[in-house]
Amino acid sequence: MNNNKPLIIGIAGGSGSGKTFFLNSFLHHFKNDEVTLLSQDDYYIPAGEMTQEENKLYNFDLPSTIDDEQFLIDIKKLIKGDVVYKKEYNFNNPLAVVKILEINPAPILIVEGLFILHFQKISELLSLRIFIEADEDVALQRRIKRDGMERGYPEDDVLYKWENHVVPAYKEFLLPYRDDCNKIIINNNDTPDDIIRITEEISDELKTKYCK
């Protein structure tokens, strides 16, 4: 690892904005040693095992549910060139096998999550901010599909969380920072070609500067 500070890219987007697909497409353009990813999802403060009703009522969409101090410490470790070891968050699934993530430093560091722009000390470290957004009805349909397929949540629970937790948090903790971002990407169409093209353009530009 060289001693140059990595380029730190912040990628933020609300639930159902298509952030995960954008990230995967973006990472696909780089070799493993050119880029590394640190995800806010792995910094949830464990809420313990909950019943379905408790899970429905618990608000995961608040900055207070994230261990932002450890998140910041780990970002700074990667900036220094140190390896970070982190337990993968299992979304309170008692059956999930918890993996230990080994996150290696690289010339480009991607920090992603709902509140990365709200956490001021983290936001100050970002060299490039990318905001992914989708219309609310599109985002909701994606959320219903994901939470049903991947997490087994009933649609009523998903709608409750959406109206009471997800949308209010988005408006309070993410949307105010939209216009401060370097790139705003509208992702309504679920057409992979568009996102792949956009990520290719951004990655080509970055590789020229940072991955020689």
How does the average pLDDT of the chain come out, rounded? 90
What confidence score (pLDDT) does residue 91 get?
Answer: 64
What confidence score (pLDDT) does residue 212 get?
Answer: 63
Query: Mean pLDDT of successive 10-residue segments in the chain (212 residues)?
Result: 78 94 91 94 84 85 96 98 88 71 95 97 97 96 87 88 96 97 91 85 83 68
In angstroms, the Cα distances linking 15 to 38, 56, 112, 121, 135 are: 18, 16, 12, 23, 11
Domain edges within the chain: 7-210
In angstroms, the CA 161 to CA 134 distance is 18
CATH number of 7-210: 3.40.50.300
**pLDDT digit string, tens, across residues 15-71:** 999 999 999 999 999 998 999 999 999 999 987 777 788 888 889 999 999 999 999
